[in-house]
Amino acid sequence: MIANLLTGFSLVFQPLAFLLMTFGVVMGIIIGALPGLTASMGIILLLPLVYRLEASVALVMLCGLFCGGMYGGSISAVLLKTPGSPSASATLLDGYPLCEQGKAGKALGISTISSFIGGLISTVCLILIAPQLAKVALKFQAADYFSLSIFGLTIMASSSGKNVVKGLIAGCIGLLASCVGIDTIVGVNRLTFNNMNLAGGFTLLPVLIGVFAISEVFAQVQNSLNNAPPAVQAVKNILPEWFEIKAILPAALIGSVIGVFIGIIPGTGGAIACFLAYNVAQKFSKDRKMFGKGALSGVAAPESANNATTGGALIPMLCLGIPGDVVTSVMLGALILIGVRPGPLLFVENVDIVYSIFAGMVVIQFLMLGFGLLSARYSPAILKVPYNLLMPIILVLCVVGSFSLNNALYDVIVALSFGVLGFFMRKWGYPGAPLVLGIILGPMAEENLNRALLVSNNNWMVLVQRPLSLTFLVLAAVSIAFSVYSVRKKEA
């Protein structure tokens, strides 16, 4: 492992890799800071660049954007009382009161240091856990893979929206969309309406661009007339005192542990982790009465937690091909575009890629710490970027990005169509992530179901006879039942 890690470090310290990784972190911080722009959108905008790069270089850049974006969300949470991403929702509870007290710099400093602690701990867990999980996953058979993809889809569907039925509908639409095109088993046209363009199915990149980026631009144009540049106070005294760092350490450690654990569970993510960490840190804190009024630990716990989900979320994505959250589902799509299929075989066939991600994640935390502390002073300027200039540029980048895949305008039409679909789904409360995951996991589910039935002579019981497969199916059922129960409980 050590030798592999050293090789990974030598890869990420190559000039191009290091430069692009730094670019990813900086872009991530900027994108994360701007409310309405998410890390997933940032990754999508970089995709035309990504699939022209070497896989390991592209991946460390995306990881940089992922971690930077997760941290960047805290900037607007502290300065504007508006989280840049849902993962920073709990940060504003104490971050903004600190800002009102004239301590915005201190809040941002604590946020940066806590994000660093969370990110580093989660990276260590990623390095230790992922190879072991991959070893277990190597024993999976076709039936297990089918059940795993069903589990991944149901858990994403049941946790990414307020209504589990809407999540499942989105997932099923994704599965149906993955059926369009020439069938891989027999080779006949399926649901193509004799349209030659549809024979190749829906390519992932235009779908991602449409669902996550174009739909956001459509959503922003609705209320853009009222957008005025926000008033933001100046940021000073960023570096906290040593005693303040010592005081927030317990909260940061609690947040890190919770973040890693939540991150590993597919379909969850930073938004859940930050609130859970905030509540637990408040219970164990000596100055719990200060929570909500500007406690530094109230910033440290959620910020360490949301950044700790990054390493955690990469574990199921790399080992099983099941994304941990929305951003990793986009990263999964990016990996497939590059030609890397995540799963246990990745740890056998592409060890260099895996360990360059591990090494990259370590370096990224230090880059995030450095750039976070350096850029905090200039963060008010980032927040003044006019949306009504930025969004049109993003739209053109989306058009060019989807065109660049095959130099075909058909892909742009697909992106626009999924953009419209994504817009209405967002408007009516249907989450976009299960739809994309359905498109990604659909072929995997179909191929493995076919293989399992071929091997077992059409015995459907094979899905429940294998313990692993049965476990995944039971977990899928439990995740749906739990979501339905939670919603009923809230309504009662």
Stretch in the footprint of another protein (CB under 8 A) among 62-70, 120-128, 363-371, 411-419? 411-419
**Rounded Cα–Cα distance for residues 362 and 206 (Å):** 32
Q: By CB under 8 A, is residue 225 in contact with another protein? A: yes
Q: By CB under 8 A, is residue 409 in contact with another protein? A: yes
Q: Between 242 and 407, whose beta carbon lies closer to another protein?
A: 407
Q: By CB under 8 A, is residue 384 in contact with another protein? A: no
Exposed, middle or buried by CB within 10 Å (0-12, 13-18, 19+), for 434? buried
Q: By CB under 8 A, is residue 429 in contact with another protein? A: yes
Q: By CB under 8 A, is residue 52 in contact with another protein? A: yes
Closest CA to 347 of 384, 385, 321: 321
**Rounded Cα–Cα distance for residues 324 and 318 (Å):** 10
Angle between helix axes 142-159 and 296-320 (nearest 10 degrees) is 150
Q: By CB under 8 A, is residue 176 in contact with another protein? A: yes
Among 6, 19, 128, 191, binds another protein (CB under 8 A): 191
Reduced to 3 states (helix: H, G, I; strand: E, B; else coil), residue 400 is helix
- Min. distance of Cβ 119 from another protein in angstroms? 30
Under 8 Å between Cβ of 230 and 387:
no
Among 18, 392, 468, 475, binds another protein (CB under 8 A): 392
Q: By CB under 8 A, is residue 19 in contact with another protein? A: no
Among 54, 183, 244, 352, binds another protein (CB under 8 A): 183
Q: What's the token pair of residue 126?
A: 């990623």
Reduced to 3 states (helix: H, G, I; strand: E, B; else coil), residue 128 is helix
Q: Between 101 and 406, whose beta carbon lies closer to another protein?
A: 406
Among 5, 399, 470, 478, binds another protein (CB under 8 A): 399
Indicate the length of the chain as a whole number. 492
Q: By CB under 8 A, is residue 222 in contact with another protein? A: yes
- Min. distance of Cβ 134 from another protein in angstroms? 28
Q: What's the token pair of residue 96?
A: 């903004």
Q: By CB under 8 A, is residue 194 in contact with another protein? A: no
Stretch in the footprint of another protein (CB under 8 A) among 179-187, 234-242, 281-289, 328-336? 179-187
**Rounded Cα–Cα distance for residues 47 and 63 (Å):** 13
Among 129, 370, 451, 468, binds another protein (CB under 8 A): 451
Q: Between 37 and 169, whose beta carbon lies closer to another protein?
A: 169
- Min. distance of Cβ 397 from another protein in angstroms? 7
Exposed, middle or buried by CB within 10 Å (0-12, 13-18, 19+), for 84? buried
* Distances, alpha carbon 368 to alpha carbons 363, 383, 417, 430, in Å: 9, 18, 36, 33
Place of tokens 């654990």: 261
**Rounded Cα–Cα distance for residues 46 and 65 (Å):** 10
Q: What angle do CA 351, 178, 264 make, to 5 degrees?
A: 45
Q: Between 262 and 480, whose beta carbon lies closer to another protein?
A: 480
Under 8 Å between Cβ of 144 and 469:
yes
Helix (H) or strand (E) holding 30: helix 15-33
Show Cβ contacts of residue 485 under 8 Å, excluding neighbours closer than 6 positions: none
Stretch in the footprint of another protein (CB under 8 A) among 77-85, 217-225, 270-278, 301-309? 217-225
Under 8 Å between Cβ of 68 and 369:
no
Among 3, 15, 339, 407, binds another protein (CB under 8 A): 407
- Min. distance of Cβ 192 from another protein in angstroms? 9
Among 139, 458, 461, 492, binds another protein (CB under 8 A): 458
Residues that bind another protein (CB under 8 A): 48-49, 52, 165-166, 168-169, 172-173, 175-176, 179, 183, 185-186, 188, 190-191, 214, 217-225, 227, 386-389, 391-393, 395-397, 399-400, 403-404, 407, 409, 412-413, 416, 419-420, 423, 428-429, 446, 449-451, 453-454, 457-458
